[in-house]
């Protein structure tokens, strides 16, 4: 099964740390307003989702969402959530850890695109 969102081992380790400190967490891919285009991590339920938010999948057992308008642009890519040193979005939980989540991406192959279309 093709995954629309995955995470590096470093990201998965940070997710586990955040879950230990804050309980269950969720992600939303920021669209560039206040915090750039960063994956934002919140305590589960702290971000109110709208009917235009799309569930892309889960990373580290945590749901990952993106607004439909942004998804329309990124639907041909797999998001790969990584971690780098430094401060990220001021509303995201990992900021106090001196790290920030970062979205990398790659285009789906034609075979993966066909599989995604069949998964609908």
Whether residue 14 is contained in a domain is answered as yes
Give the pLDDT confidence score for residue 34 in this predicted structure. Answer: 53
Whether residue 120 is contained in a domain is answered as no
Model confidence at 87, pLDDT cuts 50, 70, 90, reads: confident
pTM of the model: 0.92
Q: What is the 3-state secondary structure (H, E, C) of the chain?
A: CCCCEEECHHHHHHHHHHHHHHCCEEEEECCCCCCCCCEEEEECCCCCCCCCEEEEEEECCEEEEEEHHHHHHHCCEEEEEEEEECCCCCCCHHHHHCEEEEEEEEECCHHHHHHHHHHC
Whether residue 70 is contained in a domain is answered as yes
Q: What digits encode the pLDDT tens for the residues 33-83? A: 555 578 999 999 999 999 999 999 999 999 999 999 999 989 999 999 999
How many domains does the chain fold into? 1
Give the pLDDT confidence score for residue 71 in this predicted structure. Answer: 93
- In terms of residue numbers, what domain contains 31? 5-115
Residue 91 predicted with pLDDT over 90: no
């Amino acid at each position: 099964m093709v995954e629309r969102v995955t995470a590096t081992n470093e990201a998965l380790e940070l997710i586990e740390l955040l879950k230990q400190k804050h309980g269950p967490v969720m992600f939303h891919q920021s669209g560039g307003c206040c915090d750039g285009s960063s994956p934002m991590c919140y305590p589960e339920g702290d971000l109110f989702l709208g009917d235009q938010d799309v569930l892309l999948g889960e990373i580290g057992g945590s749901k990952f969402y993106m607004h439909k308008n942004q998804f329309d642009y990124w639907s041909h890519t797999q998001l790969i959530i990584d971690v780098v040193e430094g401060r990220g979005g001021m509303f995201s939980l990992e900021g106090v850890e001196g790290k920030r989540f970062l979205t990398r991406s790659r285009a789906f192959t034609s075979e993966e695109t066909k599989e995604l279309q069949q998964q609908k």
